[in-house]
Amino acid sequence: MELLLVPAGLLFVVLVWWILTYNRFVRLRHAIRESWADIDVELKRRYDLIPNLVDTVKGYAKHERDVLERVVALRNQAARNHGSASAQAGDENLLNVGLKSLFAVAEGYPELKADAHFLALQEELAVTEDRIAAARRFFNGNVRDLRNLRQSFPTSIVGSSMGIEEPSFFELDAENERVVPRVGM
């Protein structure tokens, strides 16, 4: 009888560990989905601001049509992307480059830089960019935790048996990371 208790106890411990590890993977996957939803909300907010910003610049810089159309096209491309975090990051990098060129255009128009509506839109975009950065850090932290759990032994056994794939980080190019508009130029 005692000989059966040791293997049964060991089996029980392994089963409890397996269940706890499984539940940890589930929690992390849900945290990643939730944190991606937070990023998505902020990106949509940003996408809604961009046309207003473009329209404001358009009123002052009529001959900068190609820059304005490019920013709108890049915004639409990024807004349509519903792929992985790395695919979204690629579109966001392109959009950030477009926004840089839009703000470069604005630099050439002192009356635009002083326009109250333009300044309010810039301020709102700056706040949104900060919120996106915070949500991205939270998302990437959750991805890091899941990847660590997935790659660590012995939890990697549970992850493999569950078919857990390692999600990608939401990373922007270092150069494009700080396109936050400067208010009060």
pLDDT over 80 at 1, yes or no: no
State the Cα–Cα distance between residues 84 and 108, nearest whole angstrom. 37
State the Cα–Cα distance between residues 66 and 169, nearest whole angstrom. 32
pLDDT over 80 at 179, yes or no: no
**Mean model confidence pLDDT for the chain:** 90
Per-residue pLDDT averaged across 123-150, rounded? Answer: 96
Count each helix (H run) and each strand (E run) in the chain, helices first.
Answer: 6, 0
Indicate the range of 4-13, 96-105, 144-153, 166-175 predicted with least confidence: 166-175
What would the pLDDT profile of 43-52 be if each residue is shown by its tens digit? 999 999 999 9
Domain locations in the chain?
A: 2-162
Pinpoint the alpha helices (H) of 108-154.
110-113, 116-151
Q: Please check whether the domain covering 2-162 is classified as CATH 1.20.1300.10.
A: no
Per-residue pLDDT averaged across 163-183, rounded? Answer: 72
Q: How confident is the model at residue 185 (pLDDT cuts 50, 70, 90)?
A: very low
Looking at residue 175, its pLDDT comes to 54
What would the pLDDT profile of 77-87 be if each residue is shown by its tens digit? 999 988 889 89
pLDDT over 60 at 177, yes or no: no
Greater confidence, 108 or 13?
A: 13
